[in-house]
Amino acid sequence: MRPTVSSSLLLALVLATGCRQGGLYPDGEINNEAERPEYGDADDVAPYVGDNELVLEAQAEFPTALDFHQKVIWRTCTPFDGVCHNSKEYPDLRTPAGFIETFGAPCNLQFGEFQSVYDGCERPGDRIVWYGGGFGENELEIGFVEYIPGESNGFEDTPADDAPGLHIHLASPVQNERPEGYATAEFSRKFVTDGNVEELVYASLSTRWWVLGDGSHIFGEVPNYRIETVQNILAVGIVEGDANHNGTFGATVYDKPASLLDPNNPEGSYLIARLRGEMHGEEVPGSRMPLANKPFSIPEMLALFCLVEGFSPEADATGLTLPIDYNNCSYAENPEDLNLLGAGVTWEGRIRKILEFNCGGCHSGTEPAADLNLLEGNVYERLLETSAQNPELNLIEPGDELSSYLYLKLIGDDTIVGQPMPFNPITGEGTLTQAEIDDVLTWIINGAVENE
């Protein structure tokens, strides 16, 4: 057995480390060094002098990170107290300092539904090794751990997959001679201190273990006198390599876990991925941000991208007042690429299906509701024409959601005639999800285009 340090000392150490924000993990290891930022340097930021209107607009509106925070982030925070990132899985973005802290901070580690964890946010899992009981003493990565409370003692047959006790899911099967045995499991984690990688055992558990399924699911009996030990181990917070239980170990698949905002790397920043709904070409779980708010315009996206691309990993809160470097920003060449439509929010890409599915039942056939057919014929052309209920407005007015009567019907605006849509005669309520309404809004604001 490897030497262990006194458990309370380790508990404190692990807790302190677990709470830190701001470490980057270059080699799939957790950096234990304090990365206190240093002052930035405004010397070499020359203004953009090209002729791209979008860049000029971004530069005029958002000369510094502080402007961006005040005008954009704060806007997405204000209307609903609680929506804005002061709870659960969200970072606190309300203050400029909180915003700056999201640079380099690990993503999606806050508590919430485990399914909502994005693979790209998963960190290298803690390690476990068993001594005794015919186990092969191989160190294996922990995928995820579940404790199911209840009578958990002296099983005669192989316990069920959901038997009361401690279930540990591993990255690869354990090598063992027997299907069960009494053994001591040691939990460990890698730390980087002063550039040295150290592996620390932070907990151990001696009990009877069973090997289930293909060997990557290990079950530990938790008799009453062991419950406290198990609770203590769980309280430390085991780092799970497959936190969302989907079989993909994000830290193995991607070079390093994503940060909320990754200095110099907008495409690898989780907050940006949540705005776009995708990262590494894959869908990111969770509805798109900002919820219940106007999606970002191109100049806003550009300001964020240039801010992140030019952000020095050493900058601290003073970096907020430095100019955003639009001149050296690679995204300033083609700001149109940052259009959120890039993620497919076009009529053909997404909106047509949303309307067909949710509205087509009534708005179709020879006598469609309100004489509006949303299923057959040239629906796209029809949407650019006037509303029957309010002939002063078109159903869709590209670029202006508040002049788009169909959108006003979706949000149940005060000015509409009749019911908010989609009208459900049974419940009286709509069925569109917030994400779908957000997509319709994004689509309208970005010009309600038919195809990409």
Least gap, CB of 291 to ligand HEC (angstroms): 19
Least gap, CB of 364 to ligand HEC (angstroms): 10
Q: What are phi and psi of 219, to 5 degrees?
A: -115, 130
Query: 10 Å Cβ neighbour count for 444?
Result: 23
Least gap, CB of 28 to ligand HEC (angstroms): 46
CA distances from 98 to 69, 73, 180 (A): 10, 11, 49
Query: 10 Å Cβ neighbour count for 410?
Result: 22
| Nearest residue (CB) to ligand HEC, 140 versus 355 | 355
Q: Which residues bind ligand HEC (CB under 6 A)?
A: 355, 358-359, 361-363, 369-370, 372, 387-389, 395, 405-406, 409, 418-419, 421-423, 425, 432
| Nearest residue (CB) to ligand HEC, 181 versus 398 | 398
| Nearest residue (CB) to ligand HEC, 307 versus 406 | 406
| Nearest residue (CB) to ligand HEC, 343 versus 440 | 440
| Nearest residue (CB) to ligand HEC, 305 versus 407 | 407
Q: How many residues are given for the chain? A: 452
CA 219 centroid distance within chain: 30
Reading phi first (left if > 0) and then psi (alpha if -120 to 50, else beta), residue 448 is in left
| Nearest residue (CB) to ligand HEC, 178 versus 382 | 382
CA distance 110 to 101: 15
* 3-state SS class at 9: helix
Q: Which residues contact 242 (CB under 8 A, 6 or more apart)?
A: 122, 125, 143, 144, 169, 171, 248, 249, 250
Least gap, CB of 443 to ligand HEC (angstroms): 12
Least gap, CB of 414 to ligand HEC (angstroms): 14
Are the C-beta atoms of 149 and 197 separated by less than 8 Å?
no
Q: Which residues contact 21 (CB under 8 A, 6 or more apart)?
A: 101, 104, 105, 106
Least gap, CB of 352 to ligand HEC (angstroms): 12
| Nearest residue (CB) to ligand HEC, 205 versus 421 | 421
Q: What are phi and psi of 366, to 5 degrees?
A: -75, -25
Least gap, CB of 290 to ligand HEC (angstroms): 22
